[in-house]
Amino acid sequence: MRTHQLKLAVGAGLLSLICNTAFAEEDLSKLMQDDNQWASQRKDYSNTGYSRLSQINKGNVGQLKQAWTFATGVNRGHEGAPLVINDIMYVHTAFPNNVYALDLNDNQKIIWSYFPKQDPSVQSLLCCDNVSRGLGYGDGKILLQQNDGTLIAFDAKDGTKIWETKVVDVKKGESNTNAPHVFKDKVITGMSGGEYGVRGYISAYNIKDGSLAWRAYSNGADTDVMIGKDFNKENPHYSALSVYEDVNGGNAEGGSFKALDKAKLKFPEADLGLKTWLKPQAIKNGWEHGGGSTWGWYSYDPSLNLMYYGTGNPGTWNPDVRPGDNKWSMTIFARDLDTGMARWGYQMTPHDEWDYDGMNETVLWEAQGKKLATHFDRNGFGYTFDRTNGTLLVAEKMNKFVNWASKIDLASGVPQKDAKYSTHQDYDAKGICPSALGVKDEQPSAYSPKTNMFYVPLNHVCMTYEPVESKYVAGQPWVGSTLTMFAGPEGVMGGFMAWDGLKGKSVWYNKEKFSAWGGALVTSSDIVFYGTLDRWFKAVDAKTGKELWKMQVGSGIVGNAITWGHKGKQYVGVLSGIGGWAGVAMNLGLNNDTDGLGAAGGYRELTKWNAAPGGGAMNVFSL
C-alpha cells in the first residue's frame, strides 16, 4: 500500500512536470502572439521584429513624444533590447550585465535587480566592446547570459535565482555576448571568441533545471558537429570536400581559388569539419581552434521543429595558414531542436579571407506557399532558402560595391571569388568591399508580412587587409591580420534599405552618415523604426523610406527598436549607448587625428556626435 501511494505521488509529480512544460511553451507562444508584449529579442520565433500594433500610424507618428527614459548606470555599447512581459520591462546592460525589472504599472519603479560579480579580466576577451545582446524569457523565467559564460534563470516575478550554469570556458578565450533564446522547452545559447582561436559551438539547455540537452560544434568530426545520415539530403553538394581548385597551396599571392562547377564537386563527404582543414595548418589540428563562433540571433520553426543560426569566421584571419574550405565556419545550420542533429547546412564563404563572420540573423517567412528563410550576410549577399531543406533560391548582392565575389552560382552554391581581392600573408590587399564589418553586422533586420519586405540596417565600409603570422596561445587574441577601414564609394559609411527577398533586390535605399548599427522594427501601420550612431531614433515609411519622424537621444544607438502596448497605449523604445565594433574605439578614447586606421579611423567623426564612453539608457516614446 505504501509503495503504491509513493508510485502515485511520483506519477502525479511527473504529470505536473509534463503539464508545466507544456504550459511553459504555451505561455511563451501566447505572449509572442500578444502584440502588447515583447517577449523575445526579435519579438517572435521567426526573428521578424514585426508588430501588429498600429495606434502609431503615418498620420500621427509626427506627434511622438518622449514618455520616459531609464539610465542604466552603465557605459559603453548597449546592443539588443529589453523585454516587456505582463507589464514588467526587463532591462539589461553592457558589462557587468546588470538586470533591472521595471514596473510599468507603477512609474517604472524597480521591482528587482541583479548585479553580477564577474571577473573584470573577461573584458579582455570581448573583442568588440563589452556588449550583451539582451535577456531571454520562457517558463516564467528571465534568462541572463553573462559575458563570463554564466547562464542564470531568475523567477521573472521576483528575481529569485532558480538555476545557474557555466556555458563557456574563459581560459580558452571563450566568452558570451549573445542573448539566450528560449525555443519550446530549451534555452539556446552560443559563444564568442572567433578572434581568440576558439572551437565554436552552440548549446541547448533544458529550461526546467539548466541541464545541458545537447551541444553541437562548428568543426571537428560529424559526431561532434551532430551531422547524421539525412543531413543535406536534398542538397548533397553542400557537403562537398572542396569547392575551389588547387586549395592546397593554390591560393598563393597573385593567384586565387577558382570555383568548381557543380559537376566537378565531390560529394557527399563525411567529417568535413576535419577534412576541410588541410595541412599544413598554423597549428597541429587547425579545426581544434577553427572558430565558427555563434553569437547571433537564432530562429525557430515549431512546425518543422528546426532552429536556425549562423556560424562565424574561421580562426585565424590569416587564410594562408588554414588551407581548405574550413567547414563548418561561415555556415547557416538548421538543427532539430530536440536532438540537436543538423538537418541542413550551407557554407556561405568557404575559406574566408576577410572575416565575413556568418553569424547574422536568419528570418523565417512564407511566400508563394513556401516556407522560406532569409539571411543578410556580412559577405554582402542576401540569401533566401527553402527552409525545409536548405535549397538556395536567391543569392544577390545587397549593394553593388561588394567586390570579393562576382556572384554566387545558384546551382553549386559557390561564390565566384575575384582574385584581385584575395588576401595573403604579408601582402596588403587594397580596396576590398565590404570591410570585415560586413554590409551588415549583428544589427538585425525586420520583416513585414504586410509589405512582404525586409528592412535592413547597413554598413557601407571598405578595407585594406594584410594577414600576418600569429601564434596561438590559449585565452590570448589570435587574429593574424591588420586592417584599415574607410567609407565606401557612396562617400558615407552606412545605409538602410527595404529588400525583396524573392527577387533579391533593394526596393528603396537611404544613405546614412554612419553605419546603421541598430536593429529594425516594422509595424502593421507600415512604419519602420531604427536608431543611428549620431543619436537619431527615426521612423520611416515602410513603402518608400521617406522619413516621418526623428528624435535625438543621449548617445549613439546600437540597440534594437521595439514596441509594446500598456493600458491601451502603444509605446516604441530603444536602448542608446554607443559601442559595439563601430563604437568601441570611441569608447576607449581614441579620438586624435592620428588614432587608429581600423574601425577607429573610419568612425573618428563619431566623437563630434557622442560623449565617450557612451552612456546606456532606455528611451521610450508614445503619442
Partner 1 sequence: MLKLLSFLMLMLITLAAGAADLQFVSTMDEKPLAIPADVIDTEAAKDFIATGKNAYIGNADAIKAGKKTFQLYSCTACHGAHAEGAVGPNLTDDKWNYAKNVNDKGIFETIWGGTAGGMGAKGKGLMLPDDPTQGLTVDEVLKVVAFIRSNAH
CA 409 to chain centre: 25
Binding mask of the shown chain, residues 84 to 123, with x at each position contacting partner 1 by CB under 8 A: ------------------------------------xx-x
Q: Which of 53, 520, 590, 617 binds partner 1 (CB under 8 A)?
A: 590
Q: Can you give 92-121 as a three-state secondary structure string? A: ECCCCCCEEEEECCCCCEEEEEECCCCCHH
Q: Which stretch binds partner 1 (CB under 8 A): 138-146, 153-161, 521-529, 598-606?
A: 598-606
Residue that has been written with the C-alpha cell 582561436 in this structure: 197
Q: How far is the CB of 77 from partner 1 (least distance, A)?
A: 12
Nearer to partner 1, 196 or 376 (CB): 196
Q: Is 124 in the site for partner 1 (CB under 8 A)?
A: yes
Is position 64 an interface residue for partner 1 (rule: CB under 8 A)?
A: no
479-502 burial, b at 16+ Cβ within 10 Å, e below that, comes to: bbbebbbebbeeeebbbbbbbbbe
For partner 1, give the closer residue by CB, 205 or 317.
Answer: 317
Choice from 588, 605, 607, 623 touching partner 1 (CB under 8 A): 588
What Cα–Cα distance (Å) separates residue 144 from each residue in 46, 216, 528?
21, 21, 28
355 tagged catalytic: yes
> Between residues 74 and 453, which has the closer beta carbon with respect to partner 1?
74
Buried b (16+ CB within 10 A) or exposed e, 17-50: eeeebeebbebbbebbeebbbbbbbbbbbbbbbb
What is the C-alpha separation between 532 and 146, in angstroms, rounded? 26
Stretch that binds partner 1, among 15-23, 177-185, 329-337, 587-595 (CB under 8 A): 587-595
Query: How far lies 56's CA from each of 22, 51, 60, 65, 203, in Å?
Result: 35, 11, 6, 11, 39
Q: Give ∠ CA 117-119-120 in degrees, rounded to 5.
A: 105
Is the Cβ of residue 296 or residue 598 nearer to partner 1 in the bound state? 598
- Residues of span 452-491 touching partner 1 by CB under 8 A: 466, 468-471, 473-482, 484
Q: Which of residues 242-281 bind partner 1 (CB under 8 A)?
A: none
Question: Measured between alpha carbons, how far is 534 from 525 in angstroms, rounded to an integer?
Answer: 26
Residue 551: exposed, middle, or buried by beta-carbon count in 10 A (0-12, 13-18, 19+)?
middle
State in angstroms the smallest separation of the CB of 534 from partner 1: 20
Which of 44, 355, 357, 441 does the annotation list as catalytic? 355
Q: Which is nearer to partner 1, 461 or 479 (CB)?
A: 479
Which grid cell is 469?
A: 603570422
Of 452 and 482, nearer to partner 1 (C-beta) is 482
**Cell 547571433 maps to which residue?**
296
Q: Which is nearer to partner 1, 39 or 479 (CB)?
A: 479
| Helices (H), ranges, 141-250 | 222-225
For the four alpha carbons of 607, 486, 581 and 596, in that order, the dihedral sign comes to negative
The site string for partner 1 over 404-433 (x = CB under 8 A, - otherwise) reads: ------------------------------
CB of 123 to partner 1, least distance (A): 4
Under rule CB under 8 A, residue 524 binds partner 1: no
Q: Choose which of 45, 137, 354, 581 interacts with partner 1 (CB under 8 A).
A: 581
Kindly state the smallest distance separating residue 468's Cβ from partner 1, in Å: 4
d(CA 587, CA 605): 13
What residues between 179 and 218 interact with partner 1 by CB under 8 A?
195
Least distance from partner 1 to the Cβ atom of residue 471, Å? 5
Residues annotated as part of the active site = 355
In the complex, the residues that contact partner 1 under the rule CB under 8 A are 120-121, 123-124, 127-129, 171, 195, 466, 468-471, 473-482, 484, 581, 584-585, 588-590, 592, 594-600
